[in-house]
Amino acid sequence: MNGTVFDVQRFSVHDGPGIRTVVFLKGCPLNCFWCHNPESKCRVPDIGYVPGLCLGCGSCAAVCEAGCHRLEGDRHVFARMGCRRCGACAEACPTDALETIGRETDVESLIAEAVRDRPFYEATGGGLTLSGGEPLAQPAFAAALLSAAKQAGLSACLETCGFADWTDLRSVAALADMVLYDIKESDTDRHRAGTGVPLEPIVANLLRLSETGIRLELRCPIIPGWNDRDGHWQGLAGLAARLRGLEGIRLMPYHPMGASKAERIGLDSANMPKDFPEPDTVATWVRTLQALTDVPVGSG
């Protein structure tokens, strides 16, 4: 069973209980304007390019069969529209100005990597977390990976935006010990405008998932000037009151690193906020929401 991942992060402490290894799968049905991981959106590998690292040596142009790379004087031009994403240019680049983002791999390799940190999981209650992108964009691979993690004796968490077929969500979530469920926005019109998809099926899936009794944590990205408002805090508190098995709400403050990553793969970052929220601002968000709900609220 093979799937496409774009990163594996060890020693994570913000993606479920304890110290965890997080496997990030490529592909996502949402198009959030602030996306922290824009390289996750496309199901197939991306080609990243950092002009500041380019020597203008022409190695990429020499191997690109599609003719996407050319030198105009001392300037390297990358015509992405014709790119086949084969990765030949990245392999030829001597300075890593070009990079293939995303790789196909198998379940066994990922589990072998994860079990290396078993002592840390056992000491902290950690394990493996499947994230993205959206893991349910690759439902068979997600299920195989979580199943293999359980067979290896690892705790397993699933992070999902919930915009998926209910049958896929139910079957994959059943293989996890806990689901980290993203809620981007609690207003239906604002959700569609900010993410490109409707909110209703996400909430419907969350309520159905809650009825199974699985452990849940809501993870809520907060983007200054967009959803850091009283109506959203009230919407989150109201949603939390309807859920069984909800152990907490984690507010995820916006960070601007997604903008540079978007530019690296040729996406427009003009509408992405460019600044971190101040720590005092984040603390105020947490206090405001905590005053509206009995569920523990944290950040990070």
Domain count along the chain: 2
- Name 98's bridge partners: 49
**Cα–chain-centroid distance for residue 65?**
32
Average pLDDT over residues 134-142: 97
Q: How far is CA 271 from CA 56, 113, 136, 226, 261, in A?
A: 30, 37, 27, 12, 14
Q: At 51, which CATH number? A: 3.30.70.20
Which residue carries 């601007």 as its tokens? 256
HEC profile for the chain?
A: CEEEEEEEEEEECCCCCCCEEEEEECCCCCCCCCCCCHHHCCCCCEEEECHHHCCCCCHHHHHCCCCCEEEECCEEEECHHHCCCCCHHHHHCCCCCEEEECEEEEHHHHHHHHHHHHHHHHHHCCEEEEECCCHHHCHHHHHHHHHHHHHCCCEEEEEECCCCCHHHHHHHHCCCCEEEEECCCCCHHHHHHHHCCCCHHHHHHHHHHHHCCCEEEEEEEECCCCCCCHHHHHHHHHHHCCCCCEEEEEEEECCCHHHHHHHHCCCCCCCCCCCCCCHHHHHHHHHHHHCCCCCCEEEC
Averaged pLDDT for residues 145-159: 97
Q: Are residues 246 and 216 in the same domain?
A: yes
- The domain in which residue 93 lies consists of 46-100
| pLDDT per position as a tens digit, 106-119 | 999 999 999 999 99
Q: What is the CATH number of the domain that holds 19?
A: 3.20.20.70
* Predicted confidence band of residue 124 (pLDDT cuts 50, 70, 90): very high
pLDDT at 265: 94
The verdict on 163 and 141 lying in the same domain is: yes
Contact 129, 160 (CB under 8 A): no
14-27 confidence digits (pLDDT tens): 999 999 999 999 99
269 in the same domain as 150 = yes
Same domain, 69 and 204: no
Q: How far is CA 285 from CA 33, 189, 277, in A?
A: 21, 22, 11
Q: What percent of the chain has pLDDT over 90?
A: 93
**Co-location of 107 and 9 in the same domain:** yes
**200 and 52 housed in the same domain:** no
Report the pLDDT value the prediction gives residue 191, as an integer from 0 to 100.
98
Of 63, 68, 117, the C-alpha closest to 92 is: 63
Q: Are residues 129 and 11 in the same domain?
A: yes
pLDDT for residue 274: 84
pLDDT at 71: 92
End-to-end CA separation in angstroms for the chain:
33
Question: pLDDT tens digit string along 211-246?
Answer: 999 999 999 999 999 999 999 999 999 999 999 999
Same domain, 56 and 150: no
Same domain? For 30 and 168 the reply is yes
Q: Beta 46-49 vs 98-101: how paired, if at all?
A: antiparallel
Q: What's the pLDDT tens digit per position in 156-170?
A: 999 999 999 999 999
Tokens 């093979």 correspond to what residue? 2
Whole-number pLDDT of residue 40:
94
138 has pLDDT over 90:
yes
Residues 39 and 27 in one domain: yes
pLDDT band at 271 (very low <50, low <70, confident <90, very high): confident
Q: Is the pLDDT of residue 275 over 90?
A: no
Strand pairing category for 20-25 and 2-12: antiparallel
**What does the alpha-carbon distance between residue 45 and residue 104 come to, in Å, rounded to a whole number?**
9
Which residue, of 57, 73, 100, is where some domain finishes?
100
Q: What percent of the chain has pLDDT over 70?
A: 100
Same domain, 155 and 238: yes
Reported as a single tens digit per residue, the pLDDT across 25-58 is 999 999 999 999 999 999 999 999 999 999 999 9
Q: Which of 148, 167, 169 is nearest to 158 (CA)?
A: 169
* pTM, rounded to two decimals: 0.93
Domain boundary among 74, 100, 126: 100
* Structure confidence by residue, pLDDT tens digits, 63-120: 999 999 999 988 899 999 899 999 999 999 999 999 999 999 999 999 999 999 999 9
Question: What's the pLDDT band for 1 if we cut at 50, 70, 90?
Answer: confident
Do 67 and 14 share a structural domain? no
Boundary residue ending a domain (67, 100, 133): 100
